[in-house]
A and B are shown apart, each in its own frame.
Chain A
Amino acid sequence: MKKALILILLSLVVLSFSFAGGKQEAPKEQEKAPVKEEKPAEEPKKAAAGGTLVFGSSGDAVRLDPADVTDGESIQRMDNIFEGLVEYEPGSTEVKPALATSWEFSDDGKEITFNLRKGVKFHDGTDFNADAVVFSFARQYDTNHPYHGYGEWAYWGYMFSDIKEVVKIDDYKVKIILSNVNASIMTSLAMFTCNIVSPANAEKYGEDAFKNPSGTGPFKFVEWVKDDHITLERNENYWRAPAKLDRVIFKVIPDASARLLSLEVGEVQGIEYPNPADFDRIRKNKDLVLMSEPGMNIGYMAMNTGYGYVDANKNGIWDPEEKLEKTPGYFEPLTKKKVRQAINYAIDKASITKNIYLETASPAVNGMPPFMLGYNDQIKDYGYNPEKAKQLLAEAGYPNGFEVTLHVMPVSRPYMFDPPKIGEAIQSYLAAVGIKVNFYQIDWGTYLQETEAGKHQMCLLGWTGDNGDPDNFLNVLYGANAGNIGAAGNYAFYMDKRNQELLSMALQTYDVDDRAKYYKEAQERIHEDAGWVYLAHARQSLVFRNNVKGYILHPTSRKFFYPVTLE
């Protein structure tokens, strides 16, 4: 009897906790919750709307050093703590002044002198000046720099190899010296890896600087509870008007359904990567707003045309003395253009976009998104035409089709939500014209290794743009220089010389019209050779509660909370 009583009492106590908390979960918008250090909350300079915005992320940050990361989760947090010399206009990839007030190019186009903004301070109170700029860049490229060893600087070699040196002219003037003219350099400088970090902070924390970030941005770092959340609070000394929000908290919610449920009850005010299957539910809920726009990406199927080059001198360029060699995945039928074109005709992209992407993407015609400079809208897509496909196959000498292997990605990517389903769709479309597709799946790291080595016959892949420049798509993905066996980015191994010539010329002139002209011609050649089936450009989708105002989607999927207010 006694034991039963104790049990009942215990359960009552536990049950009472369910009611004790009540509706405390949603942070009250006008309340200023004290921060971890128990400091008295500061009054904002202006009559700000205030409030805390909690954003539901799909994962935790890896590191908080903007130059040392490649993953979207880390970038999200850092884009609100740090800034660069230039930044993007809201919602576009046009570049405007930020920490630099103006700049000018030298006559030969290889030197850019920047005038820096005065009176800007880092979150740790030290001054922003030319030393900080030089520090932020030099630690990435200068192997003798004392802080070079603290990071991997993964983007430097790939995006900024044309930057030879960054020098200080005086306290508020720096010069960036290029080894080659590079038309995409300004948009590249707006990327997160060029954000300026506090040298004093790096000195103070040494190799722990990656978890104690100090920048010039609208929010400063408060705390990082691993895998749980990161808290930022308003920077009252921001060089622009301080942000309206008191705090921004990035909460880690790995499961997409749990993220949506959190948003529905108001525990978070915004989420990323909602489940496309939940879009109807979101639209029906009048407390929620679905924001969606075309993303800067492409999802495609690449067909190995057979030959690549080996970059013996590792300069990233297909030199004349480097001969073409068969790739390991060489497959006779795919070396024939008619076969590749036939495959293009056999696949119904509209149906794939509608039924598998579930309207989270738009069908693609070319290898880069339509809103970018130089997009060739005159190119007519191959279209869905199985009869034509069969005819071309017969003409190419394969009236009865053939058997081929398709590398299918094991992970969900921003540009391709469900690769296995897409693989199945392609398999059935190709089966209808006599081509039997076998699947090959392996873990993501190995997948990239194998496709870069040209071991595939056909593969599913894609790309998310980094800086909004067409070179970042066309030259990286479709140029012959990227057809190097072992480190390829050009997975069809399309080795056309004229195409690469066009792409290189477009990079080396600052004349926007010339660039557009070259890119348009390049796209025609790429389309004609049919090394790829361009499937879709995925849209990026975020969901917010309807009291969140002022958020602007950015094509690169980066997230900036500075203009946001809570009603």
Chain B
Amino acid sequence: MKWYIIKRLLQLIPVLLGASILAFSLIHLAPGDPARTMAGEHASVQTLEKIREKYGLDKPLPVQYGIWLGGVLKGDMGKSIVSNESVTREIMDRFPNTVELAFCAMIIAVAVGIIAGIISASKQYSPLDYTTMGVALFGVSMPVFWLGIMLLMIFGVILRWLPIGGRMSISIPFERVTGFYIFDSIIKLNGKALVSSIRHLILPSIALGTIPMATIARVTRSSMLEVLRQDFIRTERAKGLSERLVIYRHAVRNSMIPVVTVIGLNFGLLLAGALLTETVFSWPGIGRYVINAVGMRDYPVVQGCVMFFAFIFVLVNLIADILYIYIDPRIKYD
């Protein structure tokens, strides 16, 4: 198993290289000039040329790539053209924010999705089944920004139960340690901050969680249905086990493989940024940041972020693959 993990981690190298070349080519092929977006409409030609020279934008593309790659291998992803801050720092300032949100969204999606899927499967073709799948369809069809604004209006403005956006109430003194506000509030024993962070997480997690929720529900349902048709389930029922035990102790665990796959994929996608949710809920995440960077042609940031996302995605799916072993002991990696 150890070797399997090491082998998978080694596979990261070609993946990252490929991702970086792809990102570099695409963003450079796109028309548009970062010097222009930085300097604004009012800048003179000389200023633009100076900027281009300073960031090496006037060199041939393969040379620019080589310089950038050389820096990366030394651990330096370069500096953002727009903000002058190191790319690593910019990513680290924002990635924990997205992780916290994605994590909470996945908790909701997984909890609700799996339960909905199980209920649907065990009562197939019942009104409950159709309702659950209907709600799942609704969840995946509703545009996130619309859903977000509706949640804000209902819970934020009309009922005044929850805050409108952001990560925490500004009036609470808070020291950021890791960037995971829940974690930071706990280790600093800051009760007010903990409550505030959780309250701020509720609505965006719900809004963001609806899409994976629908997918997870459907996959759970279909996987369960398949498992429920199998012979060993018939044996269990014949043994006299209660339906509840059959489902929850036996059927569920056997149907989890495809569900874990889907969860892994969705979590990886969410981590790459939930642009719309982050915008509506004013969440300072990496999704919003990288989209802005693309718009401003901030090449180092876009390249750095794409590589970073590729890395995270591979990591998350590796974890999912390892989880298979614990779900199904029959699976072995050499």
Contact = CB atoms under 8 A, between A and B. Distances in A.
Interface stretch (B64-72, B154-162, B301-309): B154-162
A131 B254 CA distance: 76
A382 interface: no
A43 interface: no
A559 B173 CA distance: 26
B119 to A, nearest CB: 12
Nearest to B282: A253
A70 interface: yes
Contacts of A319: none
Contacts of A158: 42-44, 47
B32 A446 contact: yes
Nearest to A249: B170
A36 interface: yes
Interface in A142-175: 149-159, 161
A558 to B, nearest CB: 15
A444 B196 contact: no
Interface stretch (A180-188, A258-266, A504-512): A258-266
Contacts of B165: 253, 258, 262, 267
Interface stretch (B82-90, B128-136, B313-321): B82-90
B47 to A, nearest CB: 5
Interface in A196-212: 207, 210-211
B217 to A, nearest CB: 16
B50 interface: yes
Contact of A229 (B31, B94, B170): B170
B168 to A, nearest CB: 9
B171 interface: yes
A216 B38 CA distance: 27
B329 interface: no
Given A157-B47, A226-B90, A52 B84 contact: no
A258 B40 contact: no
A265 B51 CA distance: 44
A255 B282 contact: yes
B169 A25 contact: yes
Contacts of B157: 261, 264-265
Contacts of A151: 84
A40 interface: no
A45 interface: no
Q: Which of A54, A149, A261 has the most CB of B within 10 A?
A: A261
B1 interface: no
A445 B32 contact: yes
B164 A442 contact: no
Contacts of B218: none
A252 interface: yes
Q: Which of B90, B169, B296 has the most CB of A within 10 A?
A: B169
A159 B40 CA distance: 13
Interface stretch (A14-22, A120-128, A527-535): A14-22
A335 B36 CA distance: 29
Contact of A17 (B36, B171, B202): B202
Nearest to B152: A261
Interface string A262-285: 101101000000000000000000
A35 B176 CA distance: 13
Given A154-B42, A211-B85, A314-B45, A18 B36 contact: no
Contacts of A254: 279, 282, 288
B163 interface: yes
A98 to B, nearest CB: 23
Contact of B43 (A28, A63, A70, A227): A70
A23 interface: yes
A486 B47 contact: no
A443 B47 contact: no
B282 A21 contact: no
A154 B31 contact: no
A33 B171 contact: yes
A445 B160 contact: no
B295 interface: yes
12 contacts: A14-B198, A17-B202, A18-B161, A25-B164, A35-B173, A38-B173, A52-B171, A154-B42, A227-B285, A228-B282, A267-B163, A445-B36
Interface of B: 30-34, 36-47, 50-51, 54, 82-85, 90, 93-94, 145, 149, 152-153, 155-157, 160-167, 169-176, 195-196, 198-199, 202, 248, 279-282, 284-285, 288-289, 295-297
